[in-house]
Structure 1
Amino acid sequence: MQTITSQEQAALDFIEAAPMLSQVEMWCAVNSGTGNLAGLAQTAAMLSDALSALPGTVEQVEGAPSELIRNDGSVQMTEYGKHLIVTVRPDAPVQMLFTGHMDTVFPAGHAFQQLTWREDGILNGPGVADMKGGIAVMLHALLAIEGAKDQPDFGYQILINSDEEVGSPSSAPIIARLAKDKMAALTYEPAALPDGTLAGARAGSGNFSVIFSGKSAHAGRNPDEGRNALLAAADLALRMKALTREGLSVNPARIDGGGPNNVVPDHAILRVNLRPHTPELQSFAENEIKQLIAAIEAEHDVSAHLHGGFGRPPKPISNSAAALFGLVKKCGEDLGLSIGWKSTGGVCDGNNIAACGVPVVDTMGVRGGAIHSSDEYLITDSLPERARLSALTIMRLAQKGSL
């Protein structure tokens, strides 16, 4: 049975709660909703300053813009905030990747902007758990390791992106580039449950917009000469929903279009989300969508254009990922923590990392709950708890050199 070595204990003793909490409070006082570029820039500056305490380079990099389908069917290119990349000892024999995100789901005009103590040890605020608390955990775990003597020779990169909450459309290529040749990765999303249970396997996620163009006509005088785009969109929504089966959920979420009651609508857009749990079901869904659209075009005499895709691939548990989960579990046991995990339909950057063939545990962040709501909270005792878990996991990964 492995026990904590004196070298490991020296690093763990370096971790204190107060500096982490004060950073979380400072970072969460600035709105960094995905679309708030000014707030993201301010947050990136604060995070760059904090990350500069590590012995590496800190860069702010631009990501690629992405397509946004407007309600009128036009394509708008959307810009995102800059992403942060930290590189430490890039020539070391063992390399790891650590990721987090600075954006939140709360835009600049949202009512939820303040930090509030609900009770002793429970902090309510935008992004406290998802995931500025996780960034603090990551940083202080690494600072503890760097502060200890005689560490194994390992290097790492950190990515803090600004677009995770909308599927990482801008940073996905950066994630793929940084994941290359990494032995393992840790992502600092909050734990799946307040008790610290981790997310294991994850479904994938695809977001699609289908633009329909028909032909307008008078609804009373000559309706048969019209081609109803709204009806075609509704028909496709029903047929796509019928694709739902074990391991694949389909959610037609919105139809934009239509007009006056006396006009056959010539324009509509269907928005839909699909969640496949396996790569095979993702391929099945991709093929079925194309066939269904072709059938709708033929039967309704409309044209349809598909936009979007599966930005988050499914994340099953590979053998190497299982070994990484086992290591985290053992580190937890040595720290007096019970670590378990469960499958989830939620998605994150861990999906993208796993798709690169890199084992990842993607809920190494704080314990808390009610994320994406104005009730979001952080259990502050979990800041040092999770930082110690990360530090011990990283040190043992570096010592092992492989999974």
Structure 2
Amino acid sequence: MKKFLFFTLCSLLTSSAMAALSSTETRIVNHIDNTNPQAVELLEHIVNINSGTMNFAGVRNVANVLIPEFKKLGFKAHFEEGTTFNRAGHLIAELQSGKGPKILLIGHLDTVFEADSPFQQFELLDNNQAKGPGISDMKGGDIIILQSLKALKDAGELADMNIKVVMTGDEELSGRPLALSKKALIDAAEWADIAIGFEGGDGKAVTANISRRGTVDWTLTVKGNAAHSSQVFSDEVGAGAIYEVSRILHRFYQELRSESLLTFNPGRIMGGTTVEHDKANNSGSVFGKNNVVAQSAIVTGDIRSLSLQQLTRVENKMRSIVAEHLPQTEADISFGEGYPPMAPSEGNKKLLSLYSRISQDLGQGEVVAVNPLDAGAADVSFTAEFVDMAIDGLGLSGSGGHTVEERADLNALSAQTKRAALLLYRLKYR
């Protein structure tokens, strides 16, 4: 099925490159235009529900608003509790009728704005712009998913499709272990042929993501011999922990920064006689004196890479650098769980080409790929190894994400919903 889908999509790209929309597509577009005021109203409603990741009740409340909307469309929809991974849980909606490709649509319910944030309300601005917590990241994308499906239903095209929707409740702060918190998403990806994410991408309506860099955390722990500073560099005392940390980080900088599309960042460093690291709260405490050789040091950071092969190569290189050691020191580096990369596969490129063709047929112009350096990790990355093709960044365009200036262009809501709905429609008739 999946290999067949890839090759048949190639022919679809040619046949769909028509300037005019079909009568069914015109009906889909008209429905989106006619119902856009209701879409904006629903968007305002869910933006005004605080759903910071750790506000479990708020995340569930957003799901409780959306689940009945999916059920009206014929989906089986429910909220899957996240007790086992210490998060609220996920919204899952399914429509399986046995016709056409299996398509996974990805959204998320949570935002970075917790219940104590001063940024809580939808606010309409000039030129049909709006501010609000999570309006572009990514409640606008959730509305695009829902409105696209409503338009397909109105056109009589939804009932016999195969679609799963997963809206996670922990995209902004993933539950642990990831094997549990991302299980619903991975299970859906194993079922699917195509994965489509509705994050906002780089915030521009003329771009989409066909690749995303993965990210993993790392922790470097270094030990040295505590002694009076007058004895530093002696055979018995050696270099101390802080010199060893400096050596390692400088080597990382020298030998890894030439890797294409790779970034590695030490975000926190502590060193001295004693170090207490509070990993859960991203903090710690240090005691040390200028006349004492440092006994301990800890550095934490992340790596962002474009492929699993690149990540493996970089991790091995970091381990080899760490293992060399200055005199009388020892060091260890460990790598944690993280988001896998989504490499720019041929299938992803074909899917972008189809999406761009639809945008042009709608008079909205070409859509091009986002530079992976300009996009962070996202839930779609967990699907990449299981599906034939994936794309992300189809959500509502905006700016100021993760800040109290987060805003979205409401003029783009209907336009971007049209593209998403026609993408689903044309994929149905691959």
Q: TM class, shorter-chain normalised?
A: 0.7 to 0.9
Cα distance in 2 for partners of 1:65, 1:264 equals 44
Cα distance in 1 for partners of 2:58, 2:189 equals 28
Cα distance in 2 for partners of 1:48, 1:20 equals 15
Amino acid at match of 2:28: A
Is residue 2:133 matched to residue 1:126? yes
Cα distance in 2 for partners of 1:24, 1:209 equals 40
* Aligned partner (choices 276, 288, 307) of residue 260 of structure 1: 288
* Aligned partner (choices 285, 290, 300) of residue 314 of structure 2: 285
* Aligned partner (choices 166, 178, 195) of residue 159 of structure 1: 166
Amino acid at match of 1:184: I
- 126-135 or 350-359: which moved more? 350-359
Match of 2:163, SS?
strand
Alpha-carbon spacing, 1:269–1:232, altered in 2? closer, same or farther (3 Å): same
Query: Which structure 2 residues correspond to residues 124-203 of structure 1 after superposition, within 5 A?
Result: 124-149=131-156, 153-166=160-173, 169=178, 171-203=181-213
* Aligned partner (choices 25, 43, 49) of residue 30 of structure 1: 49
Judge conservation of contact 1:198–1:339 (CA < 8 Å) in 2.
no
Aligned to 1:54: 73
Is residue 2:121 matched to residue 1:114? yes
TM superposition shift of 1:90: 5.6
Amino acid at match of 1:362: D
Cα distance in 2 for partners of 1:391, 1:267 equals 56
Alpha-carbon spacing, 1:386–1:102, altered in 2? closer, same or farther (3 Å): same
| Deviations, residues 182-224 of structure 1 (Å, cap 9, x unaligned) | 2212110114243432233332222222344556556679996
| Deviations, residues 85-114 of structure 1 (Å, cap 9, x unaligned) | 111126445310000111212233333223
TM superposition shift of 1:132: 0.2
TM superposition shift of 1:120: 3.1
Q: Percent identity?
A: 24
Query: Which structure 2 residues correspond to residues 60-79 of structure 1 after superposition, within 5 A?
Result: 60-63=79-82, 79=86
TM superposition shift of 1:62: 3.7
Match of 2:334, SS?
strand
Aligned to 2:59: 40
Amino acid at match of 1:239: R
TM superposition shift of 1:59: 2.2
Unaligned 5+ segments in structure 1 are: 67-78
Match of 1:166, SS?
coil
Cα distance in 2 for partners of 1:303, 1:209 equals 11
Is residue 2:336 matched to residue 1:318? no
Query: Which structure 2 residues correspond to residues 238-249 of structure 1 after superposition, within 5 A?
Result: 238-242=250-254, 243-245=256-258, 246-249=260-263
Match of 1:308, SS?
strand
Alpha-carbon spacing, 1:58–1:269, altered in 2? closer, same or farther (3 Å): farther
Query: Which structure 2 residues correspond to residues 333-372 of structure 1 after superposition, within 5 A?
Result: 333-341=360-368, 342-345=370-373, 346=375, 347-372=377-402
Aligned to 1:236: 248
TM superposition shift of 1:360: 1.3
| Deviations, residues 334-368 of structure 1 (Å, cap 9, x unaligned) | 21111322322222122222232431110111121
Amino acid at match of 1:248: L
Cα distance in 2 for partners of 1:299, 1:51 equals 64
Is residue 2:90 matched to residue 1:89? no
Alpha-carbon spacing, 1:151–1:351, altered in 2? closer, same or farther (3 Å): closer
Cα distance in 2 for partners of 1:11, 1:130 equals 25
Aligned to 1:382: 412
* Aligned partner (choices 306, 311, 317) of residue 334 of structure 2: 306
Cα distance in 2 for partners of 1:102, 1:119 equals 27
Amino acid at match of 1:52: K
- 79-88 or 49-58: which moved more? 49-58
TM superposition shift of 1:276: 1.9
Match of 1:239, SS?
helix
- 390-399 or 31-40: which moved more? 31-40
Match of 1:120, SS?
helix
Cα distance in 1 for partners of 2:134, 2:328 equals 46
Structure 2 length as normaliser, TM-score? Answer: 0.81
Judge conservation of contact 1:31–1:39 (CA < 8 Å) in 2.
yes
Judge conservation of contact 1:227–1:266 (CA < 8 Å) in 2.
no
* TM-align CA RMSD: 2.8
Alpha-carbon spacing, 1:48–1:225, altered in 2? closer, same or farther (3 Å): farther
Cα distance in 2 for partners of 1:164, 1:150 equals 31
Cα distance in 2 for partners of 1:222, 1:319 equals 56
- 48-57 or 262-271: which moved more? 262-271
Judge conservation of contact 1:239–1:292 (CA < 8 Å) in 2.
yes
| Deviations, residues 347-392 of structure 1 (Å, cap 9, x unaligned) | 2122222232431110111121121222111100111111111111
Aligned to 1:206: 216
Judge conservation of contact 1:179–1:358 (CA < 8 Å) in 2.
no
- 95-104 or 164-173: which moved more? 164-173
Higher helix share: 2
TM superposition shift of 1:299: 4.7
Amino acid at match of 1:378: A
